[in-house]
Amino acid sequence: MTAASRGDGLFYVMGPSGSGKDSLLRALRERVHPADPVVVAHRYITRPADANEASVALSTEEFRRRVDLGCLALHWQSHGLHYGIGVEIDQWLARGLKVIVNGSREYLAEAAGRYPALCAVHVRVRPEVLAARLRQRGRESEEEIARRLARAAQGFDVPEGVRVVEIDNSGVLAESASRLADLIGSVAS
């Protein structure tokens, strides 16, 4: 198994919806210099992409077609939507790049099964901050927000041997982005 196939250099960012993962990844992309060997992978998703996220919108049929054709390295379902990360990340890892993906806590075991050396980054926020962010973005009803808050309060399973680093994104985004940038600089070779 090569370093790339083990997932050396792969950073799997996860956290509750509304924790600011997309904002954090955008802030990280703004810090990356042209010569930095860092790539934030886009996600395929079966809903319209938000301007704040690095996503490509696909129909459910096109998403399934790409799964069947082997175009996705990682894919999962959450909240009635399909999410995926393209196989291009394998090429990027093979080139020695540090690759950051926006993943799912529920899919961590499957991701670690394919990339056992990945570094899981759990983005968390205080409950009152999460509630305010979910209301502000206006995607969910109050009932859906309550379900998301309850889900965020639950823990998640961490597979044996997987390193999880916590980043609190309740405060100033630039500080959280600095912590993520430091982590990426210190973990991957």
Find out whether 13 and 27 touch, Cβ atoms under 8 Å: no
Find out whether 21 and 123 touch, Cβ atoms under 8 Å: yes
List binding-site positions for ATP: 15-22
Dist CA 128 CA 133 (whole Å): 9
Q: Which two tokens stand for residue 67?
A: 């799964």
Q: How far is CA 4 from CA 7, 9, 88, 116, in A?
A: 5, 8, 12, 10
Find out whether 82 and 123 touch, Cβ atoms under 8 Å: no
- Residue 49 has what DSSP assignment? P
Q: Which two tokens stand for residue 76?
A: 């999962």
Dist CA 104 CA 122 (whole Å): 10
List binding-site positions: 15-22
Q: Which two tokens stand for residue 37?
A: 């060997």
